[in-house]
Amino acid sequence: MPTAAPTAAADPLDAVVVGAGFAGLYQLHRLRGQGLRVRVFDAAEDVGGTWYWNRYPGCRCDVESVDYSYSFSPELDQEWTWTERYAAQPEILAYLRHVADRFDLRRDITFSTSVTAASFAEDRWTVTTDGGETVSARFLIMATGCLSVLKPPEVDGLDRFAGPVHHTGRWPHEGVDVSGRRVAVIGTGSSGVQSIPLLAADAARLTVFQRTPSYVLPAHNRPLTSEEIADRKANYPEHRAAARTSGFGIPRAPATGERALEVSPAQRRARYQGAYDEGVLIALGGTFADLRLDQAANDTVAEFIRGKIRDRVADPETAEALSPRGYPFGTKRHALDTGYFETYNSEHVELVDLRQTPLVEVTGTGVRTTERLYEVDVLVLATGFDAMTGALLAPDIRGRDGRTLREAWADGPRTHLGLAVAGFPNLFVITGPGSPSVLSNMVVSIEQHADWIADAIAELDRRGLPTIEATPEAEAEWVAHVAELADHTLLPKADSWYIGANVPGKPRVFMAYLGGVGPYRQRCDAEAEAGYPGFRLG
Ligand code: NA7
């Protein structure tokens, strides 16, 4: 039975939250807990965000399950039991569905609905959806995820291809049967690295089109033992607390401060080998203090990884083509793999090096490079996302005086603390540009932001104030600080999605805060404790 769409007047919401992934679910739970009326919109048919959409074979998190999970509920920690060291997508989605049910979140979520526009006037946001609905709320909270708007490859003819074309970020729910078929994969970032071994296992022939080889380290994924689970369940509070003050949102022993070139080559190698064997995303980068800072130091770890690729790939030419060169380790997102390099030892798997023979077009029957046409039946695009700003700029968001967010960010994203934007009162961004976000354990960063936002709203309500807005001065200072931290490192050197380089025409601005999760939390807490000096409270 159709229901009447609520009108702005009939539906005096406190907050609209856009997105029902890790961020939106927890934000809803928090705000509801302080008695606010909240409505969440999500384009998907169910909760899950990135874990709803990314269903490609092999999709799994590369932060350990026991770290990549909510910390806000000790009961949830005890009830939920992860089965693998690195949970696969179906298990993470099941976890988020469980969270939605357990905390009765679905009743405030409208699914299959995108927010298309939002404008601020008279202390409220008016939010419009693609369902034609308009709602009004005091606060607009973007929980849209950092990697949710797809980036297709820049190649002509995709629409001419006769067979199925699937982006890894929109994989069909029923799966894709590639058995006996010739499959092409374009892209060798995390999604390519994870899916290629499984696609190869079923396909008759697999052709991988690689533009930039990734630094790839073994995940050493495995089932968790009952002892490990019992131990973690007994120690969750300590572990969660350590995550919150750590550098990446993952508890690790503090770095020693030792520099890579201070030790002998044998000592260096032993240190790298130990980290390589650990199978932890941040272990290798944490072996020496200067790997992110000094090219010569970084060269040593890059060469160590290239040596491992030579060990794992039988054909020397293929090994060389798979070896990352020309950008430092850790400056583009590296990946954890299970059997990635060994896949290229199979007769039916072929690597096409697009640096030697660039893509020309997709035809009705396959993919053409400058060298030849590769005929295939299925085309897989593992070509990534319009990262960090894509989903924030997709709706038409208008702040004070009708100024659009697209105008405000024409030269790159600008935020105060990655949380708020000058000229856009009562708009909050969860894990926005200028916060640790993608350079951290996302769940830890999400919880921190959702808590900070909920506390800020509670403070406004306590003081009876309608609005909170970042000042242009605080924003400018924060933008400069984020850039300065990045410029101190090797990270801006690479053409990565951290800096917008994967999307033609996107401003080249380093978008993540590099000061670390713990110090960043302290900075945000200090802002609140000092009465929000970087904000105007109206
Ligand atoms: P990524 O990491 O952005 O990887 C995309 C890959 O697709 C990467 O190898 C790109 O090469 C390649 N690509 C993109 N456009 C093209 C074109 N036009 N031609 C050829 N190759 C292309 O996305 P993922 O989905 O793998 O991973 C996203 C994140 O998910 C990951 O970082 C983790 O945080 C989890 P390029 O490097 O641009 O030369």
Question: Cβ distance 411 to 430 under 8 Å?
Answer: no
Helix, strand, coil abundance in the chain, percent, nearest 5: 35, 20, 45
What pLDDT was estimated at residue 9? Answer: 44
Using most ligand atoms within 8 A of CB, pick from 68, 158, 211, 367 the residue to mutate for ligand 1. 211
What pLDDT was estimated at residue 254? Answer: 75
Our answer on whether the CB atom of 502 is closer than 6 Å to any ligand 1 atom is yes
Find the 382 Cα to ligand 1 centroid distance in Å.
6
What pLDDT was estimated at residue 532? Answer: 98
Our answer on whether the CB atom of 156 is closer than 6 Å to any ligand 1 atom is no
From residue 122, how far is each of 129, 459, 466 by CA, in Å?
20, 20, 10
Please give the DSSP secondary-structure letter assigned to residue 502: T
**57: region left, alpha or beta (phi > 0 left; psi from -120 to 50 alpha):** beta
The C-alpha atoms of residue 329 and residue 295 are separated, in whole angstroms, by: 9
Our answer on whether the CB atom of 333 is closer than 6 Å to any ligand 1 atom is yes
Residue closest via CA to ligand 1's atom 30 equals 190
The C-alpha atoms of residue 526 and residue 381 are separated, in whole angstroms, by: 44
What pLDDT was estimated at residue 253? Answer: 83
Give the pLDDT means over successive 10-residue stretches in the chain (538 positions): 40 93 98 98 98 98 98 98 98 98 98 98 98 97 98 96 98 97 98 98 98 98 98 97 96 88 98 97 96 98 98 98 98 98 98 98 98 98 98 98 98 98 98 98 98 98 98 98 98 97 97 97 98 97
Using most ligand atoms within 8 A of CB, pick from 92, 502, 506 the residue to mutate for ligand 1. 502
Global pTM?
0.97
Residue closest via CA to ligand 1's atom 23 equals 384
Distance of CA 490 to the CA centre of its chain: 20
What pLDDT was estimated at residue 331? Answer: 98
What pLDDT was estimated at residue 11? Answer: 55
The C-alpha atoms of residue 108 and residue 339 are separated, in whole angstroms, by: 42
Q: Which atom of ligand 1 is nearest to the CA of 188?
A: 9
Question: Cβ distance 233 to 77 under 8 Å?
Answer: yes
Our answer on whether the CB atom of 195 is closer than 6 Å to any ligand 1 atom is no
E strand or H helix that includes residue 470? strand 468-470
Residue closest via CA to ligand 1's atom 35 equals 190
Our answer on whether the CB atom of 354 is closer than 6 Å to any ligand 1 atom is yes
Residues 525, 526, 527: CA angle, nearest 5 degrees: 90
Give residues with Cβ within 8 angstroms of 45, minimum separation 6: 111, 112
